[in-house]
Amino acid sequence: MSKTTFSLGGVHPSDVKIAREKAIEVLPLPQTVYISMAQHLGAPATPCVAVGDQVKAGQVIAEPSGFISAFVHSSVSGTVKSIGARKDLSGKDMTHIEIAVEGDEWVEGVDLSDTLVTDIPQDKAAVLEKIKACGVVGLGGATFPTHVKLNPAPGSKAECLIINAAECEPYLTCDYRIMLEKTKEILVGAAIMQMVLGGCKTVIGVEDNKPEAIAAFKSAIKELGYQGMEVLPLKKKYPQGGEKQLIDAVMKRQVKSGGLPISVGAVVQNVATALAVYEAVQKNKPLVTNTMTVTGDCLPESGLHNYLFRIGMPLSYIAEYAGGIPSDAAKIISGGPMMGKAISNMDACTVKGSSSLLYLSEKTTKRQSEGSCIRCGKCADACPMGLEPFLLNRLYKVSDMDALEQNAVQDCIECGCCLYSCPAFIPLLDYIRQAKGQVMGIMRARAAAAKAAAESKTENK
């Protein structure tokens, strides 16, 4: 079996997928859920229910407020208690809808059974509309609205749909579990997206540390008799699941700086997104549930779980149900250890893209004090975008924005490889993220100014 991977950089953190054998359990409903309006990339949704309204699970409670935005549905049935600001993971205020849970009644038409529906509707527009109406967003991390991604601009043609089953983040196992437990559902979801994209080739990229998932996909594809769909084992390397890295690994093509994957004929969707598409199109079920892993290096074997959660569940509730926060946890993270967000507020609630509750011990996660750069170049070797983090860091310190732009700081994907590999523990990414933000601000302002200038020119004519 010849294995492929992306060409530039990358690191090999130990994968610690200790929760891989834990089957997905369904979390019981809490008394109250708080559903955030910012569950997706782009503009936050606008609430369309009022305080006191009775809602059912699966009912639309907020509407998109822009082109890149998404519907939000109620994940439970009950009464809307309040609509107002509440602190999210990082303590920033965001509008949440508070719903007191009463029973578990779903809106009509939602098929909650486990029966596999393999007949794929052929009306592209209707399918896209359904994906949009069900509020499906990319569940690989960026939560980009899926219907936008599946509907490339006219003139661009998708050649390859890549299903991102890399799950390259250490510790996380929720994608692995759905690959084993919902194999066929994922494949049907992939086939739906394949149809929407006009019958392009589909490649499922799985890292080779998940041989069971590779085998399951292979036999299920055979069983379903899907054509033009294959499983591609990938050599384990972080960040394989990065969109640009996966395209490089699978298609041996590189997206130009600032370009979209579709420019090289690629559309990348996460496995969990494929499952959400299946549930939306075949089962009429909006995206109100997802799977997450409760894991960490300071949890006992019994504390490891893979859960099916509903959006809006407070993290503290999940932590408590899972057996409480371990006493030697030093940091709690939502997401993987490489790109996840440290949680400073356990009252925050799950969102569509939540993927884990990760407890790390002080030994694993506490940063060591910063030393001096020994110019070893390990950060540049590790950077999957081929950037030179040591240089970007130095340029940021002297605020040389032009040089930062020339050295492509805006291409940074914030994967964390540089900081991970720096032997002097220099917080490279912390600074580069700032630099990237500032440079992108300058670039946007320049683009806007150029656009305005062009417009005024045409007006004058």
Partner 1 sequence: MDKYLVSPSPHVHSAVSTKTIMRDVIIALIPALLVSVAVYGWAEIMVLLVSVLSCVLVEFVITKYLLKKPSTIGDLSAVVTGILLAMNLPYTTPWWVVFIGALIAIGVAKMTFGGLGQNVFNPALVGRVFLLVSFPAVMTHWEIPQGFFGADAVTGATLLGRVAEGDSASFVENLEVVPTFIMNVGGSAGEVSALALILGFCYLLIRRVIKPWITLSIFATVGLIGMVFHEFIDPAFTGGIFNILSGGLVLGACFMATDYVTSPMSTKGGIIYGIGIGFLVMMIRYFGSYPEGVSFAILIMNMTVPLLNKWCHQKKYGRD
Partner 2 sequence: MMTTTIIWTIVILSGLGLLLALVLFFIAKKFKVEEDPRIDEVEAVMPGANCGGCGFAGCRAFADAAVKAPNLDNNYCPVGGNEVMKKVAGILGYEVKEKAPQVAVVRCNGTCENRPRTNVYDGASSCKVKAALYFGDTGCQWGCLGCGDCVAACQFGALSMDPVTGLPVVDESKCTACGSCVKACPKGVIELRNKGPRGMRVFVSCVNRDKGAVARKACIASCIGCGKCVKTCSNEAITVENNLAYIDFAKCKLCKKCVEACPTGSIHAVNFPIIKKKEENNE
Single residue of 211, 228, 423, 437 touching partner 2 by CB under 8 A: 437
Tokens 């779903």 correspond to: 106
Position 110 contacts partner 1 (CB under 8 A): no
Footprint (CB under 8 A) of partner 1, residues 422-451? 423-425, 427, 429-430, 433
Give the integer Cα–Cα distance in Å for 165 and 158: 19
Binding flag, residue 430, partner 2 (CB under 8 A): yes
Pick the closer one to partner 1 by CB: 240 or 421. 421
Q: Which of 4, 63, 79, 87 binds partner 2 (CB under 8 A)?
A: 87
Residues in 254-313 at the binding interface with partner 1, rule: CB under 8 A: 254-257, 259
Binding-site string for partner 2 from residue 32 to residue 71, where x marks contact by CB under 8 A and - marks none: ----------------------------------------
Q: Minimum Å distance from CB 220 to partner 1?
A: 33
444 sits near partner 2 (criterion: CB under 8 A): no
Question: Taking Cα atoms as reference points, which of 137, 150, 110, 104 lies closest to residue 36?
Answer: 137
SS (HEC) of the chain: CCCECCCCCCECCCCCCCCCCCCEEECCCCCEEEEECCCCCCCCCEECCCCCCEECECCEEEECCCCCCCCEECCCCEEEEEEEEEECCCCCEEEEEEEEECCCCECCCCCCCCCCCCCCCCCHHHHHHHHHHCCCECCCCCCCEHHHHCCCCCCCCCCEEEEEECCCCCCCCHHHHHHHHCHHHHHHHHHHHHHHCCCCEEEEEEECCCHHHHHHHHHHHHHHCCCCEEEEEECCCECCCCHHHHHHHHHCCCCCCCCCHHHHCEEEEEHHHHHHHHHHHHHCCCCCEEEEEEEECCCCHHHCEEEEEECCCEHHHHHHHCCCCCCCEEEEEECCCCCCEECCCCCCECCCCCCEEEEEEHHHHCCCCCCCCCCCCHHHHHCCCCCCHHHHHHHHHCCCHHHHHHCCHHHCCCCCHHHHHCCCCCCHHHHHHHHHHHHHHHHHHHHHHHHHHHHHHHHHC
Closer of 289 and 393 to partner 2 (Cβ): 393
Rule CB under 8 A: say whether 371 interacts with partner 1. yes
Taking CB under 8 A as the binding criterion, the range among 23-31, 162-170, 220-228, 431-439 that sits at the site for partner 2 is 431-439
Q: Is 211 in the site for partner 2 (CB under 8 A)?
A: no
Query: If binding is defined by CB under 8 A, does position 421 make contact with partner 1?
Result: yes
* Burial status of residue 2 (CB atoms within 10 A of its CB: 0-12, 13-18, 19 or more): exposed
Closer CB to partner 2, 61 or 83, in the complex:
83
- Options 7, 31, 54, 90; binder of partner 2; rule CB under 8 A: 90
The contact pattern for partner 1, residues 4-43, with x = CB under 8 A and - = no contact, is: ----x--x-x------------------------------
368 binds partner 1 (CB under 8 A): yes
Residues 130 and 276 sit within 8 Å (Cβ to Cβ) = no
Instruction: Work out how close the CB of 45 gets to partner 2 at its nearest, in angstroms, rounded to a whole number.
Output: 22
* Minimal distance, residue 422 CB to partner 2, in Å: 12
Among the residue ranges 27-35, 68-76, 370-378, 446-454, the one whose residues contact partner 1 (CB under 8 A)? 370-378
- Beta carbon of residue 145, minimum distance to partner 1 (angstroms, whole number): 24
Considering only 54, 219, 227, 344, the residue that binds partner 2 (CB under 8 A) is 344
Structure tokens at 42: 């782009």
Instruction: Decide if 159 contacts 4 (C-beta within 8 A).
Output: no
Task: Choose which of 266, 390, 404, 410 interacts with partner 1 (CB under 8 A).
Answer: 390
What backbone torsions phi and psi does residue 296 show, to the nearest 5 degrees?
A: 150, 160
Residues in 315-334 at the binding interface with partner 1, rule: CB under 8 A: 327-333
- Which partner from the list partner 2, partner 1, none does 445 bind, CB cut-off 5 to 8 Å by kind? none
Binding mask 310-339 for partner 2 (x = CB under 8 A): ---------------------x--------
What minimum distance in Å lies between the beta carbon of 404 and partner 1?
14
Of these partners, partner 2, partner 1, none, which one is at the site of residue 256 (CB under 5 to 8 Å by kind)? partner 1
CA angle 23, 29, 31 (to 5 degrees): 150
Nearer to partner 2, 31 or 425 (CB): 425
Residue 332 CB, nearest approach to partner 1 (Å): 6
The strand pairing partners of 361, in sequence order, are: 329
Q: Which stretch binds partner 2 (CB under 8 A): 61-69, 207-215, 314-322, 424-432?
A: 424-432
Residue 92 site contact among partner 2, partner 1, none (CB < 5 to 8 Å, cut-off depends on kind): partner 2
Residues that bind partner 2 (CB under 8 A): 87, 90-92, 331, 342, 344, 365-367, 427, 430-431, 433-434, 437
